[in-house]
C-alpha cells in the first residue's frame, strides 16, 4: 500500500468516526456534542448552505424568523418537506434550537423552497411518528437512523 492510499483510508476513517459521533449524539441527545455541532453549523456550514438554499436547484430551504428578544431577522437553512397544506421540518437537535423557539414564539415564519416563498402560521411540535407516513422513504429512514423523534409542522397561509 502506498502512502496516498493510506492517507485516503485514514481520512475516510476520521470522516466515518465524525459522522458516527454526530449520529449517536443526535440519537441520544448528548448536549455537549450537539452544542458543538450547532456552533460549527452556525459558523461554518450554514453560511455556505445559504448561498444556494431556497433556490430551484437546492433541496435545502431557508426559514426566515425573528429573534424572540432581539427582534433581529435571521435566515436558517432547513429541510422543509411539503406535506398536505403545510411543511414538516425534522428537528434532529430537538426543540431548543434558537430558530425553533423563535418560530414558535412568533407564530409562524417565511419559508423558501425550490425558488418559492410561503408564509406559514400555527407552528406545532409533533411526534415524528405522526407525520412519517407522509414523508419520502429515504427521509423516514434517515430520521429513524438518527433517532429524530420530533418535527415542526407549519400551515401555509400564502405562497
pLDDT reported for residue 53 = 93
At 119 the pLDDT is 98
| pLDDT for 64 | 98
CB within 8 A of 15, min separation 6: which ones? none
Domains defined along the chain, listed by start: 3-158 (2.30.110.10)
- 108-124 pLDDT, tens digit per residue, is 999 999 999 999 999 99
- Using only C-alpha atoms, what is the Rg of the chain? 17
Structure confidence at residue 135 (pLDDT): 92
In the prediction, which pLDDT does 1 show?
60
**pLDDT, position 155:** 98
The three cell numbers locating residue 23: 449520529
The DSSP H or E segment spanning 68 is none
C-alpha 114/C-alpha 54 separation (Å) is 5
pLDDT lower than 70: segments of the chain: 1, 159
Amino acid at each position: 500500500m502506498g502512502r496516498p492510499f493510506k492517507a485516503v483510508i485514514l481520512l475516510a476513517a476520521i470522516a466515518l468516526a465524525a459522522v458516527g459521533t454526530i449520529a449517536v449524539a443526535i440519537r441520544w441527545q448528548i448536549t455537549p456534542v450537539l452544542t458543538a455541532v450547532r456552533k460549527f453549523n452556525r459558523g461554518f456550514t450554514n453560511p455556505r448552505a445559504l448561498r444556494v438554499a431556497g433556490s430551484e436547484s437546492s433541496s435545502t430551504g431557508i426559514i426566515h424568523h425573528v429573534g424572540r428578544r432581539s427582534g433581529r431577522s435571521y435566515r436558517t437553512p432547513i429541510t422543509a418537506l411539503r406535506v398536505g397544506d403545510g411543511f414538516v421540518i425534522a428537528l434532529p437537535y430537538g426543540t431548543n434550537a434558537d430558530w425553533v423557539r423563535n418560530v414558535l414564539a412568533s407564530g409562524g415564519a417565511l419559508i423558501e423552497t425550490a425558488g418559492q416563498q410561503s408564509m406559514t402560521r400555527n407552528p406545532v411540535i409533533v411526534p415524528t411518528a405522526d407525520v412519517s407516513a407522509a414523508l419520502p422513504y429515504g427521509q423516514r429512514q434517515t430520521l429513524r437512523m438518527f433517532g429524530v423523534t420530533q418535527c415542526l409542522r407549519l400551515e401555509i397561509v400564502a405562497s
